[in-house]
Amino acid sequence: MDKRFWSTEETEAFVGFMEEFIVDATRPDCGQFKNATFEKLALKIIQTFPNCTLTAKHCKNKHKRMKEKYQYAADMLVKH
């Protein structure tokens, strides 16, 4: 299994870089990020953390998991 554990600093950088990509409108109309965006994201994180071994696949999985958790929390807030 290719499971990767993210440090708090890496996660914070990930979120910050994702925000930059959203502001720069690097998503297509359907609201999904392209694979090239995840490749750019991995490169930015590796440049920030030189000993990091992230790949675009790790970034895509992190995005998916964070999106799931956010949606779950948002759904709970709406129901209460």
Task: Tell whether the model's pLDDT for residue 1 goes beyond 50.
Answer: no
**DSSP-derived 3-state class of residue 48:** helix
pLDDT above 70: residue 26: no
DSSP code, position 67:
H
pLDDT digits (tens, 9 = 90+) for 35-66: 888 999 999 999 999 999 899 999 999 999 99
Residue 77 — very low, low, confident or very high, per pLDDT cuts 50/70/90?
Answer: confident
Name the average pLDDT for the chain.
85
| Nearest alpha-carbon partner for 42 in 33, 32, 51, 52 | 52
